[in-house]
A and B are shown apart, each in its own frame.
Chain A
Amino acid sequence: DAGVTQSPTHLIKTRGQQVTLRCSPKSGHDTVSWYQQALGQGPQFIFQYYEEEERQRGNFPDRFSGHQFPNYSSELNVNALLLGESALYICASCGGGGTGGNQPQHFGDGTRLSIL
């Protein structure tokens, strides 16, 4: 049973470029969340997707956008990259529409994004 998978594992971009990161949730999960984790910090919530719509968003600018496909996989898009956005971008999934408040999330290993 595959867990949460993310691609690519590493990526190098230059300031001002655009990037797309991909996530496949754990089998049976229908809700996907994205987090940004700067070095030495805890993950920061970006947004959550359910039923192909963004239903919760953290404190991130509109340059961060996402998409969820009918098979529950998801993409994170970031436009006009800034140097300070070098980080590990982690995807997490859960099932049941994420309505079970006591349901833990399952995390992928993330995409390490470096911005030069």
Chain B
Amino acid sequence: SQQGEEDPQALSIQEGENATMNCSYKTSINNLQWYRQNSGRGLVHLILIRSNEREKHSGRLRVTLDTSKKSSSLLITASRAADTASYFCASGSARQLTFGSGTQLTVLP
């Protein structure tokens, strides 16, 4: 079973716009991670936010974490066609990661 759910399931935007994806999880966490997956490929780690952090930036990525609501969001600013992919949040321990069901992002040129 999935730990959490991403929202929306699918998102289509124009190049240059911002994309926001949300993730909810069920159990307490040490950290929450976001991964990206291009079609038919493996997952690529984007960013990790610890449970004692509220916001983290990496390039065009901004992640927020609200442990009281058990939710996180991923913002991609100034999107590009190359950002088209599926995005997953994941939580758990070093021994086991539990993924959400993902958001399929399509960035139109």
Given A48-B95, A94-B94, A101-B30; A112-B40 close (CB under 8 Å): yes
Cβ contact within 8 Å between B98 and A45: yes
Cβ contact within 8 Å between A58 and B96: yes
When chains A and B are docked, how far (Å) is the Cα of A42 from the Cα of B101?
5
Cβ contact within 8 Å between A104 and B48: yes
- Contact-residue size bin, chain B (C-beta under 8 Å from the other chain): 20 to 34
Cβ contact within 8 Å between B95 and A4: no
**1/0 contact trace for B84-109 toward A, CB 8 Å?**
00001000111111111110000000
Q: Which A63-116 residues sit within 8 Å CB-CB of chain B?
A: 88, 90, 92, 94, 98-110, 112
Q: Which B23-48 residues sit within 8 Å CB-CB of chain A?
A: 30-31, 33, 35, 40-45, 48
Cβ contact within 8 Å between A102 and B30: yes
User: Who on chain B is nearest to A90 by CB?
Assistant: B42
**Interface residues in chain A, defined as those with a beta carbon under 8 Å from any beta carbon in chain B:** 4, 31, 33, 35, 41-45, 48, 55-56, 58-59, 88, 90, 92, 94, 98-110, 112
Q: Name 24 interchain pairs, CB-CB below 8 A, sorted by A.
A: A4-B42, A33-B97, A41-B2, A41-B101, A42-B2, A42-B88, A42-B101, A43-B99, A44-B99, A45-B92, A45-B96, A56-B95, A98-B94, A98-B95, A101-B30, A101-B94, A102-B50, A105-B97, A107-B43, A107-B45, A108-B42, A110-B41, A110-B42, A112-B40
